[in-house]
Structure 1
Amino acid sequence: MHRRASPGSQDHFDLFPYIAILMSLLGALLTATLGMASLSLGPGVAETWDMAARDGTASKAPVLVEWDGSALTVHEGAQRRRVPWLDDQAAAAGGMRPRSAAMQRLLAEFGQRSATGYVLFAVRPSGFATLPRLTDDFRAAHIDIGYEPVGQERGVQLLSAGEHP
């Protein structure tokens, strides 16, 4: 006669506790990795753009200009110059808002350097709506431009040839 084995009499090995321990360990390692990454970035992280030509044939040098929708911040080496785009005094007088005098001087300055340089805009989200009108001003002055979006509060810098971040 053949006897059936009762279900409780078989030996078995359950892997669930070991898998749970491994998953907990992976979660702890992931948390530690993300914590280290956020500490290394820090609150003052900035974007760095390297514009050096890889083959050494760059024909024009970029000038970094930040655009926030109301004023331009021109980066000239370690110097920063803020230039208002439109004339607020004309707007207060009820007239059209023409380009400010400082903006007209800036366009003339970049126009003189248009054979050797171009303007690279770092566009903040607050400047997206007015960017087409601003770029029209530069194109009308025959100034070559480029633009790239950048976070509202994020710093930005432009590396020239031979510089390292």
Structure 2
Amino acid sequence: MKLVVNGAEYDVDVEDDMPLLWVLRDELNFKGVKYGCGVAACGACTVHIDGVAVRSCQALAADVDGEVTTIEGLGTPDALHPLQAAWISHQVAQCGYCQSGQIMQAASLLADIPDPSDADIDDAMSGNLCRCGTYTRIRAAVKTAALTLKEN
């Protein structure tokens, strides 16, 4: 099967029922996609398929119809995405395990709602768990990134 990931086409030979998470991590070596719970409850495995946030632990590779973007493909080789820069600026990450999924979920939010309210952010991010509890920093980083994206 062919997958387009972060703008590059890959030919992968895997079982049709293999979750996208394992194709990305084990077959294509995109380690930014994390395994958290395996039941789409924590959001650590969040990627985009055609710009929409998807839990890759529950998406079967054979069902993917569109371009997959992982945290590795969010920015460019020369520049961080505004969300990545805001995450650093607001020192969001503590352990950091959930952060790639958090950022991917936030990017999907900002694509849909460029100027989100606190309620918009809380609603969109509610399915992404952070055991370290950095939710107020996450909200602040999303607002900073929204302003940066608006200015550019």
- Structure 2 length as normaliser, TM-score? 0.24
> In terms of Rg, which structure is larger?
1
* Structure number having the greater helix percentage: 2
Greater share of strand residues, 1 or 2? 1
TM-score normalised over the length of structure 1: 0.22
